[in-house]
């Protein structure tokens, strides 16, 4: 009986001792709990296999983070399975879309900085800038115009800290979708002088255009009046068109002079083919009169070679994107359904202002990027490139 009591007493003593040691180890952070030999060896091997685990534990991933990660993986997999790879034509269309909207609907200060950066010439009387594509010279609904930012541009040219009461005045306008040399006057007197030079054909402006077709002959003078008429179609609209003074007789042997229309405007355009390739041409134009859309109408209706990207004058009876030959579409990397994204390839290349400040002012404007890319695609070369060969 005493043996059983002794054994029970010893067992109770060991139990309370073990309980006490575990209690102490919970209170002291650096004290290890009492473990058996097998438990101690397992703990040591675990600590050796991952050193530093207790000192720099990684943060546990929350359920919300895990769910978000799973959703992102599923969305990425679904996109890769449903979206086909972007083709070269799609990239080309995206490029044309991005270019055509590059400086439209921007803050006036952004446009003014762009014009200041691309300044071509300035003196006390005139300023010559490089007009970008798609920006109207005068106010247009919903689009920032060049006229609206001229006060800001004037301050940039003279220094923001300098008090400047002068205003820049556009003298010779360019169409919204054309690019190149734009002449501004610093005063009304300078503007009137420039207009007098223009009316007397003393101001020389040369344009470069890319045409669909090759003009024949390769150089000439187009002298056909232009008139504005209404086009009867499902979408009634107005267009400029030819109002010729001569007509061919029924036999096709000679020309007969007809009475000119009272509302027709005299229009004269000089042209010269600089290069041709793949059914397209690089043509230099010089407008000797200032009729609305004169060069576009003469190229499309007089020579039968519309300007590339001229969706207005490529058809007479309807409003539709320009229809291009299959070979031209292939070279441009487009399909006919995407031709509407082609911009107008009409660039004011060169300006000569005679007798200004004692000598002539001659300014050339670099071609825009889209114009150069089209030239490269059609294998059309500059006159300077030909001289270097």
**Domains annotated on the chain, with CATH:** 103-200 (3.30.2350.10), 202-380 (3.30.2350.10)
Cβ-contact 170, 147 below 8 angstroms: yes
State how far the Cα of 54 lies from the Cα of 48, in Å rounded to an integer. Answer: 11
Q: What angle do CA 383, 373, 103 make, to 5 degrees?
A: 115
CA-atom Rg of the chain in angstroms: 39
pTM over 0.85, yes/no: no
Spatial separation of the C-alpha atoms in residues 364 and 384, rounded to whole Å: 13
Residue 251 CB-half CA count within 13 A: 4
Q: Which helix (H) or strand (E) holds 388?
A: helix 383-388
Between CA 204 and CA 217 the distance in angstroms is: 23
Classify 88 as helix, strand or coil: helix
Rounded CA separation 141/358 (Å)? 41
Q: Which residues contact 136 (CB under 8 A, 6 or more apart)?
A: 143, 145, 146, 176
DSSP 318: S
- Both tokens of residue 87? 């083709």
- Rounded CA-CA distance 317/337 in Å is 19
Q: How far apart are CA 277 and CA 325, in angstroms?
A: 13
For CA atoms 114, 120, 376, 307, the dihedral sign is: positive
Q: How many CB atoms lie within 10 A of CB 40?
A: 12
Axis-axis angle for helices 369-378, 88-100 (nearest 10): 150
Tens of pLDDT along the chain (389 residues) come to 444 444 445 455 554 554 444 444 444 444 455 455 555 554 555 554 444 444 455 567 678 888 888 888 877 776 555 545 556 767 877 777 776 667 777 888 999 999 999 999 999 899 999 999 989 998 766 678 999 999 999 999 987 655 566 689 998 889 999 999 999 999 999 999 999 999 888 899 999 999 999 999 999 999 999 999 998 877 788 999 999 887 777 766 677 778 788 899 999 999 999 999 999 999 999 999 999 999 999 999 999 999 999 999 998 888 889 999 999 999 999 999 988 889 999 999 999 998 766 688 999 999 999 999 999 999 999 876 444 44
The packing angle between helices 150-158 and 108-117, to 10°, is 50
Residue 283 near residue 242, CB atoms below 8 Å:
no
Quote the tokens at residue 195. 């207009």
Q: How far is CA 56 from CA 31, 35, 63, 202, in A?
A: 20, 25, 22, 83
- Cβ neighbours of residue 373 under 8 Å, at least 6 residues apart? none
């Amino acid at each position: 009986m005493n043996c059983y009591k002794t054994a029970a007493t010893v067992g109770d003593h060991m139990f309370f001792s073990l309980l006490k040691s575990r209690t102490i180890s919970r209170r002291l952070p650096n004290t290890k709990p009492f473990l058996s030999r097998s438990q101690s060896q397992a703990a040591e091997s675990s600590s050796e296999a991952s050193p530093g685990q207790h000192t720099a534990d990684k943060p546990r991933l929350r359920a919300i983070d895990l769910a978000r990660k799973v959703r992102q993986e599923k969305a990425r997999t679904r996109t890769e399975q449903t979206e086909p790879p972007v083709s070269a034509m799609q990239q080309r269309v995206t490029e044309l879309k991005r270019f055509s909207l590059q400086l439209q609907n921007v803050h006036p200060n952004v446009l003014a900085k762009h014009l200041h950066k691309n300044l071509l010439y300035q003196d006390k009387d005139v300023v010559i800038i490089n007009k970008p594509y798609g920006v109207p010279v005068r106010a247009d609904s919903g689009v920032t115009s060049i006229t609206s930012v001229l006060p800001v541009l004037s301050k940039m040219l003279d220094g923001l800290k300098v008090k400047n009461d002068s205003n820049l005045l556009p003298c010779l306008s360019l169409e919204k979708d054309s690019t190149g040399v734009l002449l501004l006057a610093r005063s009304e007197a300078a503007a009137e002088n420039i207009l007098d030079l223009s009316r007397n054909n003393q101001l020389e402006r040369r344009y470069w255009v890319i045409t669909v077709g090759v003009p024949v002959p390769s150089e000439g003078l187009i002298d056909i009046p232009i008139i504005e008429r209404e086009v009867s179609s499902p979408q009634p609209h107005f267009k400029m068109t030819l109002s010729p003074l001569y007509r061919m007789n029924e036999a096709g042997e000679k020309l007969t002079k007809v009475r000119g229309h009272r509302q027709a405007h005299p229009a004269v355009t000089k042209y010269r083919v600089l290069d041709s390739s793949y059914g397209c041409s690089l043509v230099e134009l010089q407008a000797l009169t200032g009729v609305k859309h004169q060069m576009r109408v003469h190229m499309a209706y007089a020579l039968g070679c519309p300007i590339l990207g001229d969706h207005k004058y490529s058809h007479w009876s309807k409003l539709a994107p320009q229809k291009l030959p299959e070979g031209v579409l292939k070279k441009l990397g487009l399909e006919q359904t995407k031709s509407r994204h082609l911009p107008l390839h009409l660039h004011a290349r060169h300006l000569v202002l005679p007798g200004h400040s004692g000598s002539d002012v001659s300014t050339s404007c670099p071609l825009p990027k889209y114009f150069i890319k089209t030239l490269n695609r059609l294998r059309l070369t500059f006159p300077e490139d030909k001289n270097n060969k």
